[in-house]
Amino acid sequence: MAGTIITGAYDMHVHAGPDVLPRKSDCLEFADIMSKAGMAGFVSKNHYFTTSPWAKIANSRNPGFKVIGSITLNNTVGGMNPFAVDIAGRDGAKVVWFPTIDTLTCINEAELMPEGKRPYWVSVLLELKADGMRVSPVNVVDENGKVLPEVIDVLDVIAKHEMILCTGHITVKEAFAVIKAAHERHVDRIICTHCDSPLAFFEIEQQLELVNKYGVYMEHCLNGCTTGKVTWEVCLEQIKKIGYDHVLLSTDLGQVGRQDPNEGLEFFAKWLLENGATENEVRKTIVDNPKKLLGAGF
E strands of 171-296, at which residues? 190-192, 217-221, 247-250
If one counts every other C-beta atom within 10 angstroms of the C-beta of residue 20, the result is 14
Exposure string over 286-296, b if 16+ CB within 10 A, otherwise e: bbbbbbebbee
82-134 pLDDT, tens digit per residue, is 999 999 999 999 999 999 999 998 888 766 776 666 777 888 888 888 898 88
CA end-to-end distance (rounded Å), the chain: 19
If one counts every other C-beta atom within 10 angstroms of the C-beta of residue 241, the result is 12
In the chain, what are the domain boundaries? 12-294
CA distance 232 to 253: 17
CA distance 164 to 6: 22
193-232 pLDDT, tens digit per residue, is 999 998 899 999 999 999 999 999 999 999 999 998 899 9
As to burial, measured by CB atoms within 10 angstroms (0-12 exposed, 13-18 middle, 19+ buried), residue 272 is: buried
CA distance 48 to 195: 22
Helices (H), 114-194: 122-130, 149-161, 172-184
SS3 10: strand
Report yes or no: 128 and 135 within 8 Å, Cβ to Cβ: yes
Is the peptide bond prior to 18 cis by the omega test (within 30 degrees of 0)? Answer: yes
259-288 pLDDT, tens digit per residue, is 999 999 999 999 999 999 999 999 999 999
CA distance 182 to 167: 11
CA distance 90 to 244: 32
Which CATH architecture describes the domain 12-294? Alpha-Beta Barrel (3.20)
Model confidence at 243: pLDDT above 60: yes
